[in-house]
Structure 1
Amino acid sequence: MTLAERARRVIPGGVNSGQRSIPGLTDLVIARTEGSRFWDTTGREFTDYHAAFGPPLLGHNDPDVAAAVSAARASIGLTGVAVTEGEVTLAEQLVELVPSMEKVLLTSTGSEATFHALRLARAATGRRLVVKFQGCYHGWHDSVSLNVISAPERVGRPDPTSAGILPEVLAATLVLRFNDVAAVRQAFADHGPDIAAVILEPVPHNVGALLPTDAFLRALREECTKAGSVLVFDEVITGFRHALGGYQSLAGVTPDLTTLGKAIANGAPVGAIGGRADLMDLFSSRPGGPVFFAGTYNGHPDVVAAALATVRKLREEPVHEHVFRLGDRVRAGLAELYRTLDVPAVVTGYGSVFVSYFMSGPQPRSYDDLLANDTALFVGYRRRLVDQGVFELPLNLKRSHLSYAHTDADVDRLLEATETAVRHTLAEGGAEDLENATTMGGAVR
């Protein structure tokens, strides 16, 4: 019996997160990771552009991060009381770097951070409604677990990603079109006094890369300020990957609360919520705070050490310059490749993130635009990349990532492999089994 078969006997589906089981790759078992690569138990080597949905910005098993974690383990373990010097130092650095953060608390995941952000917003405002945007994902909790990758007929109405969510919970979430300023202003005109929070990924990377317009982000800030609603930027993906100050530092729009995760600790399980001091002081971590906040593993010494080492390297080495340069190379190379093949495609992304949508037209601005993507070609070519030792997640609309460990030679190989994979997919008719490749599946936090 193989390891994958053993896993399926004792783990539902054989994996511990909903999008780790890939149709056509159900026997894949990971044995080792290093730098820009991973290896499976059969010895196959893959150049990794999936990157666990984005955390290892420095590359897998970065030696400086590993050394910092090892050193922490030699001196301190989890006590679950008071605070450590590392937690204080990390909080100080986050407050220094991220424009919106006056105070900050650590969690173990991004989903926990966004959960706490919305609970806090409702407590602070005494209001009921939350606004989210089609195509944005904010974690597994009920109030925002809807309308991510929706079928065309589900766009424009509640589309929960899971069974078991109460209808009255779904009814308290308004779903709007991303980049639609008019829809935002109308929602506030209709519901402003009852809107507790607006939450968004400033770049909706859970459907690839929809880039926001300046007018859209500024309209959100304006409407939230006028209505007294809490603006939440979910920067679990964009934070630290795109800039040390998050995407908000690039956009020049400051939210009231920000959530972080993923690249902040290069793969260690961490999340963070921070923002205005008057809001953050409502949490029960401050005696008398009315909004309950707890977590046994919050601020775990291993995780804090990983985050501090990651932030230090991001500040001291040309990490962003490197991954942004490679990202530009990849996007330009892919765009030229598709022109040569006469394949309609829009290549987009930001910095170290890239994605190819197989469709005609200008840069997509909302999820509606992405319904034109050729899913069979998108999933099919990525499945064929696997045979060439290149891994981009073969699920519809999923983004790909570059790390500090990737090289120009990796980019050259990616472009070569992509050309071969796309040619074969066109010749052979796309992906064979798309039923599980086109939907949201499970959480990606």
Structure 2
Amino acid sequence: MNQQPAPSISLPERARQVIPGGVNSGQRNVPGLADLVIARAQGATFWDAGGRQYTDYHAAFGPPLLGHNDPDVAAAVAEAGRTLDLCGVGVTEGEIELAETLAELVPSMERVLLTSTGSEATFHALRVARAATGRRLVVKFQGCYHGWHDAVSMNVISAPDRVGRRDPISTGILPEVLDATLVLRFNDPDGVRAAFADHGDDIAAVIVEPVPHNVGCLLPDAEFLRTLREECTRHGSVLVFDEVITGVRHGLGGWQEIAGVTPDLTTMGKAIANGYPVGALGGRADLMDLFSSRPGAPVFFAGTYNGHPAVVAAALATLRKLREEPVHEHVFRLGDRVRAELPPVLASLGVPAVVTGYGSVFVTYFMDRLPKTYDDLLANDTGMFVGYRRRMVDQGVFELPLNLKRSHLSYAHTDADVDRLIETTEAAVRAQLADGGAPGDLSTASTMGGAR
């Protein structure tokens, strides 16, 4: 029998004794912050076990659009718990209402199935695309992250010498699985046309983050997204928009509504339940009806926790609040402030930098022009990017100190928070410059994807 830990052992030490690396997701083990233990979160703030307070712009890669522990979401979850828990048979009224709501909001969603994570949603999207088309190949784009499963666990944040080559983010993936995925450049419509000219008869699906937020923010050209739709339609391939990040956060109808390009399938997650573990897959009825949730259908679909009442209640409460209150107006206004007010501050320090993003998402790249493709991001000063953020953490302003990672605003953030963000950024960059910068470790960063 294992003995209880001695009282003298710290919480991080206890974690490392029983949890590999001391954390339950790879990107939570941040260099320089290995002993961070989170004790409480509320609104735009979290506190560590030592009582130190942080204004949170990392936001768990984006789910809490309303802010941590939103009272209306928490109340809905508590109410659901008074009447329901997981029964694992049939369907609940909440599941029906959530599917109806998503189908009403998102242009591509004629049918909807719930999962527990975004990775599961993208996995099922590719599986059903291959089943429907009888084809082998999947197309993804350099810099896009679609979850942990083997077909797409590649070419996210790649070192310069790995761009244009197979760059899996994990060992243990069969070579033949990697060989069935084509990796193209984002925002390169000619490259898409060429890939379809060469392989169109064997491309089952094209999966894309319409805005690749796993490398900060690459805004898509209209021609690029239109080309994806045109080529998939022409060749009978399935177009999948991975809106796990963009969906709901950028607009209730997702990026597809903003762009006016409707995919065949859409995956969602993160912000649709304000941080509760939910994913969703929806799209054309003929594709969705292939899943075995419909008796006799051939594509297996299952998940013990799919449609858990607490998660469904959180999603319904979140979507209701997003529809009834000026959440997007507030976070977009704060985002516009950051993107407008940070550049002149950085320019006054003589630092080559661009501040980009969309709505509530922002990111500062240390380079001299706005990036359009992942190749452009190779010019980012990784040492400055990670170094200034590490100094921000020391001042209680938390932007994740990992290369190319975006930051988020929530309904709980205020103008005073933005004022402090800008002041702290200036001080942190100034201090980084005074120290001559810090070496960036792109080799470490190249193994990292996103979080689902």
What TM-score do you get using the length of structure 2 for normalisation?
0.97
Equivalent position to 1:74, from 82, 94, 102 = 82
Residue number among 129, 133, 137 corresponding to 1:121 in the alignment: 129
Which residue matches 2:155?
147
Following superposition, the deviation at residue 429 of structure 1 comes to 2.8
1:390 equivalenced with 2:363 (yes/no) = no
Match of 1:91 among 67, 85, 99: 99
Distance in 2, Cα, partners of 1:325 & 1:279: 38
Q: Per-residue deviation at 1:311?
A: 0.2
1:254 aligns with 262
**Aligned: 1:205 with 2:210:** no
Q: Deviations over 1:162-214 (max 9, x none)?
A: 00000000000000000001000000000000000000000000000000000
Distance 1:22 1:430 in 2: 19
Counterpart CA distance in 1 for 2:449 and 2:210 is 21
In structure 1, the residue matched to 2:429 is: 422
User: C-alpha separation between the residues in 1 aligned to 2:444 and 2:365?
Assistant: 15
CA-CA distance at 1:431 after TM superposition = 3.3
Native 8 Å contact 2:214 2:450 kept in 1: no
Deviations 1:95-138 (A, max 9, x none): 00000000000000000000000000000000000000000000
Matched-pair contact (CA < 8 Å) for 1:139–1:444: yes
Report the Cα offset of residue 92 of structure 1.
0.3
Q: Which residue of 1 is the match for residue 345 of structure 2?
A: 337
Which of residues 184, 187, 192 in structure 1 aligns to 2:195? 187
Q: Distance in 2 between matches of 1:420 and 1:443?
A: 28
2:26 corresponding residue in structure 1: 18
Aligned equivalents of 1:430 and 1:246: distance in 2? 38
- Aligned counterparts of 1:375 and 1:195: Cα–Cα separation in 2: 35
Question: Matches of 1:221 and 1:400 in 2, distance apart?
Answer: 29
Match status 1:229 vs 2:237: yes
CA contact (8 A) 2:217 2:357 kept: yes
Number of equivalent positions: 444
Contact 1:17 1:443 in 2 (8 A): no
**Counterpart in the other structure of 1:378:** 385
| SS of corresponding position for 2:445 | coil
Cα distance in 1, alignment partners of residues 40 and 409 from structure 2 = 19
Counterparts in 2 of 1:135 and 1:205: CA distance versus 1, 3 Å: same
Deviation at 1:20, TM superposition (A): 0.1
Q: Which digits, 9 at most, give the CA deviation of each residue in 1:371-412, with x for residues without a partner?
A: 000000000000000111000000000000000000000000
* Distance (Å, rounded) in 1 between the aligned partners of 2:382 and 2:433: 12
Q: What are the Cα deviations for residues 388-441 of structure 1, in whole angstroms up to 9, with x where unaligned?
A: 100000000000000000000000000000001001111113336736752343
Residue by residue over 1:345-392, the C-alpha shift from the partner in whole angstroms, topping out at 9 and shown as x without a partner, is 11100000000110112x211000000000000000000001110000
Q: Quick check: 2:292–2:298 contact (8 Å CA) kept in 1? A: yes
Q: List gaps (5 residues or longer) in structure 2.
A: 1-8
* 1:303 to 2:311 alignment: yes
Q: Taking structure 1 as the reference length, what is the TM-score of the superposition?
A: 0.99
Give the corresponding residue for 2:357: 349
Q: Give the conservation status (yes or no) of the 8 Å contact 2:382–2:440.
A: no
Three-state SS of the structure 2 residue aligned to 1:19 is helix
- Check the 8 A contact 1:57/1:266 in 2, yes or no: yes
Cα contact 1:379–1:430 (8 A) shared by 2: no
Question: What's the CA shift for 1:442?
Answer: 5.5
Q: 2:446 aligns with which of 433, 439, 444?
A: 439
C-alpha distance in 1, partners of 2:18/2:60? 23
Q: Tell me what 2:3 maps to.
A: none
Q: Secondary structure at the match of 1:282?
A: coil
* Contact 1:15-1:21 at 8 Å conserved across structures: yes
Q: Percent identity?
A: 78
> Which amino acid in the other structure matches residue 277 of structure 2?
P
Amino acid at match of 1:77: D
**In the alignment, which residue of structure 2 is the partner of 1:136?**
144
Aligned to 2:4: none
Give distance in 2, aligned partners of 1:200 and 1:401. 21
- Please report how far the alpha carbon of residue 328 of structure 1 lies from its aligned counterpart in structure 2 after TM superposition: 0.3
Q: Cα deviations across residues 318-340 of structure 1 (Å, max 9, x unaligned)?
A: 00000000000011111111111
Among candidates 369, 381, 389, match of residue 376 of structure 2: 369
Residue matched to 1:411 = 418
Counterpart pick for 1:274 among 257, 282, 286 = 282
CA distance in 2, matches of 1:434, 1:130: 31
> Residue by residue, what CA displacement relative to the aligned partner does 1:251-302 show, whole Å, maximum 9, x if unpaired?
0000000000000000000000000000000000000110000000000000
**Residue in structure 2 matching 1:174, options 182, 194, 202:** 182
User: What is the CA–CA distance in structure 1 between the aligned matches of 2:88 and 2:438, rounded to whole Å?
Assistant: 49
Partners of 2:181 and 2:197 in 1: CA distance: 16
Give the corresponding residue for 1:402: 409
